[in-house]
Amino acid sequence: MVKTGFSSMHVQACLVSSVILNLLFVTYIYLGGQWNLSWSSGAAAEAEAVTSAGHGRVYLVDDENTEPGSECNSAGPDYSHFSTNCIADANSWTSGAAAEAEAIAAVSCSGHGRVYLDGLVDDENTEPVCECNSCYSGPDCSRFLTDCILDANSGDPLFLEPFWKQHAASSAVVVAGWHRMSYKYNNNVYISKELERLIRKLHAVVGNAVTDNSYIIFGAGSTQLLTAAAYALSPENSSSPAAIVASVPYYTLYQQQGEYFNLAKFKFEGGAHKWMNKSDSSTYTIEFVTAPNNPDGRLNKPLLEGPNVKTVYDRAYYWPHYTPITAQADEDLMVFTLSKLTGHAGSRFG
């Protein structure tokens, strides 16, 4: 979340273009059918020209449509006619997927694992198999591994899974095969306005952040947004890279990402306290303020200030299930993440 008056429009544009909107829905790749399409050759340039036509689109016809009651096979077998853009078996196209999901969800895996629709399948490639929790094994996850070593280095928000199971009906979603195929949303934007509206509503209901006069920017997890923020706040043509700093102890990912990308624009420099007497220097400094802090939970405050200091607030844990919400956060640049709010870490959304 970035304040509208913050820095310059350059920063906004930079941040927006830094992040990639990721909405990947499970797609059943249609391996069984024939790839008989109405135009089976022709170069990529042709494809681009055809697909860019917008309204008057070329429609595909295939001859493997075996779904009962389909009204979509009006095209002749010579592919000389274009089919209409209709839904095959329009009145019950969701029932198979619904039954499949309920059957999968009913597999208990002894309470020590789970089966997913897109999970591993057994040797005969027919049924998904149980994926066991750490320290459990066997086809139904019933075997406890006594010599198992537990990795307590980092967290995984699976503790929120029962909440979603208790709200199974209200959280279920049917994804159609043609869901949001375009690169863009309506009106030529890459950001879902509806999702943005819900995020503002959420912060208002919870009371943990002011979203008025702010831009909402999406990323593939807050991981991506943190680097995007550092990139956007670093000066464009500086002789030396901007220094990224944070209070000790800090989240190790800040350092890992800074070192990994090895950018000309910024460099991770460690503890912010070392820079407290240098804040009047000419070095451009970006302080990551993590509140609550990872790993110690403290509500950190910035150590640095000055004309060459910018502050990025990592608000990942500023939700009522981690810390008392005593006030609405209202900083210029705040980063939140779905993984800590709802537990959907695997969805990569911040």
Residues in 240-269 that interact with its own copies by CB under 8 A: 260-265
Q: Is 140 in the site for its own copies (CB under 8 A)?
A: no
SS3 42: coil
What is the smallest separation between the CB atom of 97 and its own copies, expressed in angstroms? 4
Cα–chain center distance at 77:
43
What is the smallest separation between the CB atom of 119 and its own copies, expressed in angstroms? 6
Q: Which stretch binds its own copies (CB under 8 A): 3-11, 127-135, 268-276, 305-313?
A: 127-135
Pick out residues in 71-110 that bind its own copies (CB under 8 A).
Answer: 72, 83-102, 105-106
What is the smallest separation between the CB atom of 277 and its own copies, expressed in angstroms? 29
Cβ–Cβ contacts within 10 Å for residue 118, how many?
A: 10
Among 10, 201, 273, 274, binds its own copies (CB under 8 A): 201
Token digits of residue 336: 């939140």
**In terms of CB distance, is 278 or 299 closer to its own copies?**
299
Q: 32-39 — which CB contacts under 8 Å span 24+ positions?
A: 32/64, 33/62, 33/64, 34/62, 34/63, 34/64, 35/62, 36/62, 36/63, 36/64, 36/79, 37/61, 37/62, 38/75, 38/79, 38/82
Token digits of residue 261: 């990308």
Q: Is 168 in the site for its own copies (CB under 8 A)?
A: yes
Q: Is 342 in the site for its own copies (CB under 8 A)?
A: yes
CA distance 36 to 99: 30
Check if the beta carbon of residue 60 is closer than 8 Å to that of residue 38: yes
Among 80, 126, 147, 165, binds its own copies (CB under 8 A): 165
Phi and psi at residue 304, to the nearest 5°: -110, 150
CA distance 322 to 159: 13
Among 107, 191, 206, 253, binds its own copies (CB under 8 A): 206
Q: Is 213 in the site for its own copies (CB under 8 A)?
A: no
Site string for its own copies, 305-324 (x = CB under 8 A): ------------x--xxxxx
Token digits of residue 9: 């429009």
Among 5, 205, 239, 280, binds its own copies (CB under 8 A): 205
**In terms of CB distance, is 3 or 129 closer to its own copies?**
129
Q: What are residue 242's DSSP bridge partners?
A: 266
What is the smallest separation between the CB atom of 210 and its own copies, expressed in angstroms? 17
